[in-house]
Amino acid sequence: MTEYPEIAERFARDTAQHQMIVLHDDGLYRHLRFANPEYGNFGAFELITWPYNLVVKTGWTFHFDIDATEDMFDLFRRTALTGEINPGYWSEKVRAGRDEVEGFNPDLFEHQVKQYVVAAIRNGDAPRGIGAEVTRDIFEWGDINHEAGARKELEDFRYEDWTFGDTTEWKFYDFTPGFLWSCYAIRHGIDLWDAARTPEAEVAA
């Protein structure tokens, strides 16, 4: 079962009627396009490979490379099951597009803050009313749509001398939806390529 069901479901919807079009096929030099002819570029993506390199173009562009694997399709085949992805390992191989791999996740921020407050209440370390105060000051009034603002809200929070303490090690970022969607595109595209093995054909997704 995927760790990112919402992205997996979205990818499945976006690519339900895609066809694979082989634009170039010369050994390890490939250019494959996946799209629904009726919808043009919506949900379309491309895979481009050459020895030790793979580029995926999905609206985002990520360039992967690894000196140890000449055919990059082999890397993605070996490190994830059919239909699944391995963003942790694959992100280490990104040469270009690294700024788009991870980003601030407001849901992760909210989860960690609430989890910390609940633990403090259970342990008797937090004053009465702390939950409502955190909800109002941070989640309703706070500037928490970006990491710098979210961290400042935690740093500035005070309620009857209670604070969040040192939160510098708290992680509020995760793989971006664009990177995850691109990972699914790579794995799905390779699966279609392997199933087809007829470079001149257009194959229904």
170: in domain? yes
Quote the domain boundaries for residue 134: 104-174
DSSP structure class, residue 58: S
Looking at the domain assignment, is residue 35 inside a domain? yes
Q: How many whole angstroms separate alpha carbon 122 and alpha carbon 126? A: 8
Tell me: do 73 and 122 sit in the same domain: no
Residue 116: pLDDT above 70?
A: yes
- 195, 200, 202, 203: CA torsion to nearest 10: -10
- Cβ-count burial 87-120 (b if 16+ within 10 Å, e if not): beebbebbeebeebbebbbeeebeebbeebbeeb
Question: Which pLDDT score is estimated for 201?
Answer: 46
123 and 55 together in one domain: no
What proportion of the chain, given as a percentage, has pLDDT over 70?
Answer: 95
The number of folded domains in the chain is: 2
Could you tell me which residue, 31 or 68, shows the higher pLDDT? 31
Question: Who has greater pLDDT, 43 or 90?
Answer: 90
Give me the helix-helix angle, 106-122 and 147-156, nearest 10°: 20
Helices (H) and strands (E) in the chain, counts: 7, 9
Residues 170 and 191 placed together within one structural domain of the fold = no
**In the predicted model, is pLDDT for residue 62 greater than 80?**
yes
Instruction: Indicate whether 166 and 181 sit together in one domain.
Output: no
Of 146 and 30, more confident = 30
Look at residue 17 and tell me if it is in a domain: yes
Per-residue confidence (pLDDT) for residue 173, from 0 to 100: 81
Higher pLDDT, 52 or 203: 52
Q: Could you give the C-alpha distances from 179 to 26, 39, 90, 203, in angstroms and in order? A: 27, 22, 10, 25
pLDDT digits (tens, 9 = 90+) for 160-185: 889 988 888 888 888 998 999 999 99
Which ranges of the chain does DSSP label H, i.e. alpha helix? 5-14, 72-78, 87-91, 106-122, 130-134, 147-156, 177-196
* In-domain check, residue 203: no
Q: Which amino acid is at 21?
A: I
pLDDT at residue 204 is higher than 70: no
CB 66 within 8 A of CB 175: no
129, 60: one domain: no
Indicate if 184 and 113 belong to the same structural domain. no
Look at residue 75 and tell me if it is in a domain. Answer: yes
- The answer to whether residue 62 sits within a structural domain is yes
Q: Is residue 201 part of a domain?
A: no
In a domain, 12, yes or no: yes
* Span 124-141, average pLDDT: 89
Residue 203 pLDDT grade (very low, low, confident, very high; cuts 50, 70, 90):
very low
Q: 63-82, pLDDT tens digit by residue?
A: 999 998 999 999 999 998 88
**One domain, residues 120 and 164:** yes
Shared domain check, 110 and 87:
no
Res 198: pLDDT: 55
31 DSSP β-pair partners? 24, 48
Q: Are residues 55 and 138 in the same domain?
A: no
Q: Are residues 116 and 77 in the same domain?
A: no
190 and 152 assigned to the same domain: no
55: enclosing H helix or E strand: strand 53-57
- 96 and 41: one domain? yes
Mean pLDDT in residue range 145-156:
87
pLDDT-derived band at 202, boundaries 50, 70, 90: very low
Residue type, 148: A
* pLDDT mean over 90-107: 86
Share the mean pLDDT of the chain. Answer: 88
User: Is residue 62 within 8 Å of residue 96, measured between CB atoms?
Assistant: yes
